[in-house]
Structures are given as structure tokens and as C-alpha cells.
């Protein structure tokens, strides 16, 4: 096998008979050193990899003797400013960091959120952190702004790829705690309903999307109250807003979820509880446990984060 080539200003590669049939991204990863799979994928997606003068797709199967031309794209600018935002550090070692994100904290910059994010806080608190993903330093998965709980952060590019592969292959176990409206009839169940972008409201996820992808959520009832059900939830896929939309689909939206259950609080008879839901200023969804294979030891590790005070207090108010 020929040695990996370093990144140059321009690269021209010829496919051998043994390499024919590989996916383009796999082929390039085996040929180019100093460039991660995620970096190569970014080059492909941005049109910097061509075959026969045409931009190629990552899934394209390379053919014998054809030439692959690569013009490495400049790295994404890391225009983030470190900010002294408090973080709850659950674990830290030479490879990674596990944080318990508070509700209200956006994970990484986006439209309308260029500052005050978890990414800004990571740059402030840690000198060593993966910079390969530009404005998402070390981040391999995310939680919604109003969701609290555990996130794992990579300290270098190799760890970031190792962890990202586990998420992609669905080898990471994520357990959430949630309170939903109404009483679930089944003590446990599986929701296997595909999800995708809503055809009309692009910021929402829907079960009636034209480009829906498989989404599977398992739940188990912990306790039933008069107007609520406290559940443990395991998402077997990682679709955007998956848990929230699946419980909306069941007719039991997550408590406090204004996007997928804005009027559901009206079914609650106790006016004090209705007021308490409004005062929560978040939805009742918490990433309680996170288990994965550690990149250093190759052993399974598991971390837990207790319910935040505001959610624990709300449960206590239910009696």
C-alpha cells in the first residue's frame, strides 16, 4: 500500500485496480495524510474534489485509472471569542471533557447566536481542544437550547473522529428524563416514526416531511401523576428534536415545550401548575446518562447528571 500523501496546494490522484470501487471519501482518507475524514468531507461538499472536471459526491465509487483532483479548501475560520461562561464539568482527562449543559445555553453559534454559546465557553476554559470543526470546537453532538444535560467534547481531532464515529454507528447510549402531558397508557413502548423538516415551517421537525428519515425512540414510564407522566427515554437515532416530536406524535408533548406543545398546558386542571409550567422557561427534558467507548482506554465509560434544581422542584410540587 502506498504511503499517505501530505496535504499540498493541489493533489492529483490516480485510482489503482485494487482501490477501484471504494467510496470517494474513503479513498481520499487512505491517500491523504494530515487531513481528517471530516476535513475531506468538507472539501468534497464544497466542490473542491473533482472527477473529469465535475464536482464529485462523497458516496461516489471511484473507478480504475480515473484521476481525482483535490484542491484543499482553507480551514474554516474560528472567529469565536473565548467567554467566561460558567460550565459544570462532570469529567476531564487528556482526551475529552464531559459537561452538564444548563438549559438556555446554545451549543454552538448559529443565526442570531454568535456569542454566549457553549463553544465560546469551551475556548475560554480549555487550552487544549479540537479546532477541526471551526465554530464547533470539539463538539460531536448537541442538545437543544432548552434541554439540559450531558455532552462529550473532544480535545483533539483524532478523539473527535473516534467519538463522531460512535455516534454515527449508534453505539453511544443516551438516556433522557422527561415529563410529558397526560398519562401514557403503556408502561413502555417504542416510537418508530420517520422525521424530517416540516414542509411549511422549516425550523420545525415533522412526521409528515417529504424527506423523512427513520427515527426510533424507546420509553419507559417511571411514574404517573394525575396530569403528567414521568418517563425515561432512550433515542436509538439522533434526529433533530426527535424526542419532542415523537411524544407530540403520541399526543403527549413534553412539558414546557412551546414549539411542539404550546397549548398542551390547558389540559392541566391545577392553575398553580399551569403557572409553574410557564415559569419553568424551558422544556422538561434532561440528558441524564451518557455511555460510550473511551478513545484512550477503549473501555466503556458512563456518566450521569442529576435533574437540575428547577426540574426536581417541579416534580416535588406534583406530590
Dihedral of CA atoms 178, 214, 42, 68 in degrees, nearest 10, equals 160
Q: What is the mean pLDDT of residues 8-30?
A: 86
pLDDT band at 47 (very low <50, low <70, confident <90, very high): confident
Kindly name the residue from 25, 95, 144, 257 that is annotated as catalytic: 144
The DSSP bridge partners found for residue 54 are 51
**In terms of CATH architecture, what is 89-168?**
2-Layer Sandwich (3.30)
pLDDT for 218:
98
Gap between the Cα atoms of 130 and 96, Å rounded: 10
Ranges 35-49, 187-201, 241-255: which has the least confidence: 35-49
pLDDT of 27 > 60? The answer is yes
95 classed as catalytic: no
Q: Which residue has cell 480515473?
A: 66
Task: Report pTM.
Answer: 0.76
Identical fold at 11-70 and 89-168?
A: no
**In terms of CATH architecture, what is 173-318?**
2-Layer Sandwich (3.30)
pLDDT for 142:
93
Report the chain's terminal Cα–Cα distance, integer Å: 67
pLDDT of 36 > 80? The answer is no
The CATH H-level (homologous superfamily) assignment of domain 11-70 is RNA-binding S4 domain (3.10.290.10)
On average, the pLDDT of the chain sits at 89
Q: What is the mean pLDDT of residues 8-33?
A: 85
Ranges 2-16, 67-81, 273-287, 292-306: which has the least confidence: 2-16
Whether 179 contacts 229, CB under 8 Å: yes
Question: Of 74, 75, 72, whose CA–CA distance to 10 is shortest?
Answer: 72
* Domain ranges within the chain, ordered by starting residue: 11-70, 89-168, 173-318
Instruction: Give one DSSP letter per residue of 140-199, joined into a string.
Output: -----TT-EEEEEEESSHHHHHHHHHHHHTT--EEEEEEEEES--SSSEEEEE--BEE-S
* Cβ-based neighbour number of residue 224 at 10 Å: 14
pLDDT of 134 > 80? The answer is no
By CB atoms closer than 10 A (0-12, 13-18, 19+), residue 261 is buried
Amino acid at each position: 500500500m502506498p504511503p499517505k500523501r501530505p496535504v499540498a496546494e493541489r493533489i492529483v490522484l490516480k485510482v489503482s485496480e485494487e482501490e477501484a470501487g471504494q467510496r470517494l471519501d474513503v479513498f481520499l482518507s487512505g491517500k491523504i495524510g494530515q487531513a481528517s475524514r471530516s476535513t475531506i468531507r468538507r472539501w468534497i461538499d464544497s466542490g473542491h474534489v473533482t472527477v473529469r472536471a465535475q464536482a464529485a459526491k462523497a458516496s461516489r465509487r471511484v473507478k480504475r485509472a480515473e484521476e481525482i483532483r483535490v484542491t484543499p479548501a482553507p480551514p474554516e475560520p474560528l472567529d469565536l471569542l473565548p467567554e467566561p461562561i460558567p460550565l459544570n464539568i462532570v469529567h476531564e482527562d487528556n482526551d475529552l471533557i464531559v459537561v452538564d449543559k444548563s438549559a438556555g445555553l446554545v451549543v454552538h453559534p448559529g443565526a442570531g447566536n454568535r456569542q454566549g454559546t457553549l463553544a465560546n465557553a469551551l475556548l475560554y476554559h480549555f487550552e487544549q481542544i479540537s479546532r477541526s470543526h471551526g465554530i464547533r470546537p470539539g463538539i460531536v453532538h448537541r442538545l437543544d437550547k432548552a434541554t439540559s444535560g450531558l455532552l462529550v467534547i473532544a480535545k483533539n481531532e483524532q478523539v473527535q473522529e473516534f467519538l463522531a464515529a460512535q455516534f454515527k454507528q449508534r453505539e453511544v447510549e443516551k438516556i433522557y428524563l422527561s415529563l410529558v402531558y397526560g398519562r401514557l397508557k403503556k408502561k413502555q413502548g417504542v416510537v418508530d416514526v420517520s422525521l424530517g423538516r416540516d414542509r411549511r415551517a422549516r425550523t420545525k421537525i415533522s412526521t409528515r416531511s417529504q424527506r423523512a428519515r427513520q427515527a426510533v425512540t424507546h420509553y419507559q414510564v417511571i411514574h404517573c401523576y394525575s396530569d403528567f407522566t414521568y418517563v425515561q427515554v432512550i433515542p436509538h437515532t439522533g434526529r433533530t428534536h426527535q424526542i419532542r416530536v415523537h411524544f407530540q406524535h403520541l399526543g403527549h408533548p413534553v412539558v414546557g415545550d412551546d414549539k411542539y406543545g404550546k397549548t398542551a398546558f390547558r389540559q392541566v386542571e391545577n392553575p398553580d401548575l399551569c403557572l409553574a409550567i410557564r415559569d419553568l422557561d424551558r422544556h422538561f427534558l434532561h440528558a441524564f446518562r451518557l455511555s460510550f467507548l473511551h478513545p484512550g482506554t477503549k473501555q466503556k465509560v458512563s456518566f450521569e447528571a442529576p435533574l437540575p434544581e428547577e426540574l426536581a422542584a417541579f416534580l416535588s410540587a406534583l406530590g
